Structure 1
Amino acid sequence: MAPLMLDGLDDYASTGSPRKYHSTAGSQETAPLARVEDAWAALERDGYVILENLFAPGEVARMRAAVLPHMAPRGGRNPFEGLKTRRLYAVIAKTLACNPLVEHPLVLALLDRVFEPNYLLSQLQVIDILPGEEAQALHFDDSFYSLPRPRPVLGAATIMALDDFTPLNGATRVIPGSHRWGNRLPTPEEAEGAVPVVMPAGSVVLFLGTLWHSGGANRSDGARLALTAQYCAPWCRQQENFSLSVPLPVVKQCSEHIRRMLGYSIHAPFMGMVDGMHPKRLLEDRPSAEV
């Protein structure tokens, strides 16, 4: 069923800049349908799905090499983020090496089923759980959108293993099926039964924003490096303010899909406009007075 629209608002989509800058949502390379269907069935049932070996070892090595020089020398700033967990923010401003996760065709194929078109990247972050870190508090990622549960999903996330995820080194813990819960906390038994997402480096877990989960405790002798891309519905505010964190020259180096998800797009009829025009005008080479 088409969304309801007030009289006259549909005219906006067929005039001016929206006519020039057509949405590219859903135009990514097609992922194998059988794999999409299998992954979607697991995602609907459990609230998460493991996409094993989505990236080759060489791609993992390139990402590691690109992000590690930018990592802080020590742990985080509060218990939730992890006092023995290093985090890298504004990743796209520092390197484009991690963009392949954000726009992987299988990831986008699944997100196309979760959200309306023109959904956004909410944040891209590197997380390095160091030895001795405690388990993170269980939470669900789109809780900052303060609408009561149960409700439609407003966010979704991927976590890519840049190291093998094991039960000992801080593998993400999930409570299967908790994406369907109402407004309640996990019971002690449910929290104790959280399942570690064990997967080899290059694999990705994708989960819905309503799924209860957390980073695990690192009882190993080595760090656990991961990359996470989080997404949100096209009308929700992003966690990262990409218009301030990513300079325009860097945005111009990104693919059309990344640009769209950073916010250089319109959610009909006119959410995301700049001075009444399409934000992609800002990426054109023109005198500043004309932008």
Structure 2
Amino acid sequence: MSRNTFRVDKVEDLYADIAGTYRSTATAAAPGVHVDSDVAQLERDGYVVIDGLLSPQQCQDIAAAVDPLLGPVGRNAFEGLHTQRAYSLLTKTRACDGIVEHPRVLALLDRLLMPNYLLSQLQAIRIGPEESRQFLHFDDGMYPVPRPRPALSAATIWAITDFTADNGATVVIPGSHRWADNRKPTDDDEHVSVVMPAGSVVFFVGTLWHGGGANHTADQSRLAVTAQYCEPWLRPQEAFTLSTPPETVRTLSENIRRMLGYSIHPPFMGMVDGMHPKRILEIR
């Protein structure tokens, strides 16, 4: 924030953008042609599937970029004993930047979360043959705020290859985003496999019960990239300001910089030594 003085006459002034040189970059200005219908489905089911957002060539390019980054199989049943992951993608490839800030996704986030929402996680996930179903969970579970309540986060899972009922398509329980704390999934609940072609995305709120599906095939893998987001006053899953070097941040778009934490949530949440975090990028 600027060292210039500013006047505070009433308590409301404390929640205004009081930065000087660098202002809040909260407005994504994303087009919202379909946002009303998307939000309506989110409110009803807790998730929405949007087809055809990536071209076959884009999917091929992303697959080629993340394939060599995928690590060994998971360390436990949640990560998947036949599942490979690549974390901290922003430090390793620019191929997924367009996924992080896709206009259709930003338009939804602008409606669901407060301005200056943050990127919470970005990773690639390949579910391999004979993988078991991941146990169902909801992403907001790490935040100890009682349910039912509005979601504190949202997630996207992008199909880089086709998602089928046999190869590990994400499983969701429609309507479970409205459940209270004392309700847990059972076999009697409706479980839906999110079957979708490559280039599609499933967007869901952080209170929706879901999990990776079982891969019943002997020779098919399911590749996805997931970008997850959270409210600006919450701690994200990955500390991107630590994992992403400033020299990399300088190459990113303003939207992605903001979502990494290189902005302020007015009046000064996210400051560094009393100053706007973008000042760090001036140090070479």
Shift of 1:10: 2.0
Q: Is the 8 A contact 2:136 2:211 kept in 1?
A: yes
For residues 1-291 of structure 1, the aligned pairs below 5 Å read 7-8=10-11, 10=13, 13=16, 15=18, 18-31=19-32, 33=33, 35-72=34-71, 74-183=72-181, 184-190=183-189, 193-220=190-217, 221-284=219-282, 286=283
Conserved in 1, the CA contact under 8 Å of 2:130 and 2:214?
A: yes
- Unmatched 5+ residue regions in structure 1? none
Q: Distance in 1 between matches of 2:11 and 2:48?
A: 42
The residue type equivalent to 1:70 in the other structure is L
Rounded Cα–Cα distance in structure 2 between residues aligned with 1:278 and 1:8: 21
Amino acid aligned to 1:55: L
Q: TM-score, normalised by structure 1?
A: 0.91
Q: After superposition, what is the alpha-carbon deviation per residue over 1:178-205, rounded to whole angstroms, capped at 9, x for unaligned?
A: 0001012112211xx3100010001000
Q: CA–CA distance in 2 between the matches of 1:155 and 1:204?
A: 17
TM-score w.r.t. length of structure 2: 0.93
Contact 1:13 1:19 in 2 (8 A): no
Question: Would you say the 8 A contact 2:85–2:126 is kept in 1?
Answer: yes
- 2:30–2:106 Cα contact (<8 Å) kept: no
Work out the CA distance in 1 between the residues paired with 2:54 and 2:232: 27
How far residue 23 of structure 1 moved from its aligned partner, in angstroms, is: 2.2
**CA displacement, residues 26-58 of structure 1 (integer Å, 9 cap, x when unaligned):** 234424x2x222111111110000011111111
Flag structure 2 segments of 5+ consecutive residues without an equivalent.
1-7
Alpha-carbon distance in structure 1 between the residues aligned to 2:138 and 2:15: 36
The count of aligned residue pairs is 275
**Counterparts of 2:101 and 2:9, CA distance in 1:** 33
Q: Retained in 2: the 8 A contact 1:9–1:269? A: no
Change (3 A) 1:276 1:97: same
The letter for the 1-side match of 2:207 is T
Structure 2 distance, partners of 1:21, 1:12, is 16
Q: Do the aligned partners of 2:167 and 2:221 also contact (CA within 8 Å) in 1?
A: yes
The AA in structure 2 aligned to 1:57 is P
Higher helix share goes to which structure?
A: 1
Q: CA deviation at 1:211?
A: 0.1
SS of 2:13's equivalent in the other structure is: helix
**Higher mean C-alpha deviation, range 45-54 or range 179-188:** 179-188
AA paired with 2:244? V
Aligned-pair identity (%): 59
- Mapped to 2, the partners of 1:241 and 1:176 lie a distance apart of 31
Kindly provide the amino acid, as one letter, of the partner of residue 195 in structure 2.
V
Q: Deviations over 1:129-170 (max 9, x none)?
A: 000000000000110001110112111100000110000000
The 2-side partners of 1:100 and 1:173 are apart by 25
Q: Is the 8 A contact 2:118 2:260 kept in 1?
A: yes
Is this contact kept in 1: 2:263–2:278, CA < 8 A?
Answer: yes
Deviation of the 1:24 alpha carbon: 2.4
2:3 is matched with none
What's the offset of the Cα at 1:22?
A: 2.1
